[in-house]
Structure 1
Amino acid sequence: MDHNLDATDRRILMVLQRQGRISNAELSERVNLSPSACHRRVQRLEEEGFIADYVALLNARKLGRTTTVYVEIKLASQADEVLDAFEGAVLKVPEVLECHLMAGAADYLLKVVAEDTEDFARLHRAKLANLPGVAQIQSSFSLKCVQSTTALPV
């Protein structure tokens, strides 16, 4: 935990994580500050990088992306140029929501969304299998999302 954050900063961050569109007036009431003091704190939290961005979280089901797949990828080599080429190419695949360089059996773990299993098969064949350096792919389909949040503990 960062010791530059006091209890009020933490309350502000907790509220904003769950209600990013809250007005400054309402936020100031919720955290028991004057609107001007609250605004100054939010600006400071943004400037110091505690607040990285503001986004709208979309409903994947409403957009027809009902299938979530976790894809483990092993590369043919661990050379920097292979890793760089893979990372650069995977950034261009919009269905990949997350890409993590891993320690362990797989080199990368991807979180991928698709319309259904047929759509994922197309994506697998056309895009994932053709990423630079890919030697092996293992896919696991999510059957049910038990917990999903973007809120970090503060």
Structure 2
Amino acid sequence: MVPRPDPTLDSFDHAILNIVSTQGRIAVTELARRIGLSKSPTQARLKRLEAAGVITGYQALLDPIRLGLAHVAFVEVKLSDTRERALTAFNRAVQAVPEVEQCHMIAGSFDYLLKVRTSDIDQYRRVLGERISALPHVASTSTYVAMEAVKEGQL
């Protein structure tokens, strides 16, 4: 079941979410100053948003280029079997492929869309041949290589 948006979020909550989505390490006093509340209510709101699962965590954003992972490919995956057991097997197995940055089940002419990040086309070819094509129930793949990231990031 997909959670529904929380209708109790007000403009202060949305302001907090907008700021922490791009600046997760911001000090509570600075966050409070920027949204126009004092520190205590800002901190209480932040804790409430965390407890409610609206904020699910904080993480460092890494520069994939500086990490040697400049090659991005999007891979359409068609499965030979789309019954629940096959989907579950694919979903579990794809989690173990570290080069797969994102995996989305798609309603359309293919079953999954993967975002794969590697150092270069040679490494991508190995990942495709040895890992992605070997995932459970993979019947075929089609690859689209990204030339430039125009927009990436959080909400």
Bin of the TM-score, shorter chain as denominator length: over 0.9
Structure 2 counterparts to residues 22-101 of structure 1, below 5 A:
22-101=26-105
Q: Under a length normalisation based on structure 1, what TM-score does the superposition of the two structures give?
A: 0.95
Q: Which residue number in structure 2 is paired with residue 10 of structure 1?
A: 14
1:2 Cα deviation from its structure 2 partner: 3.2
Alpha-carbon separation, structure 2, partners of 1:111 and 1:66: 12
Structure 2: any 5+ residue segments left out of the alignment?
Answer: none
Percent identity, aligned pairs only, is: 39
Calculate the TM-score normalised by the size of structure 2: 0.95
Aligned length: 151
Q: Indicate the RMSD between aligned Cα atoms, in angstroms.
A: 0.8
> 1:110 aligned to 2:114?
yes
Matched with 2:131 is: 127
Q: Where has structure 1 moved over 4 Å in runs of 4 or more? A: none
Instruction: Give 5+ residue unaligned stretches, structure 1.
Output: none
Greater relative CO (CA pairs within 8 A, separation 6+): 1
Q: Which amino acid letter does the alignment assign opposite residue 149 of structure 2?
A: C
How far does residue 27 in structure 1 lie from its aligned partner after superposition?
Answer: 0.5
Write out per-residue CA displacement over residues 22-77 of structure 1, whole angstroms, 9 at most, x where no aligned residue: 00011010011111111000000011111111000100000000101100000001
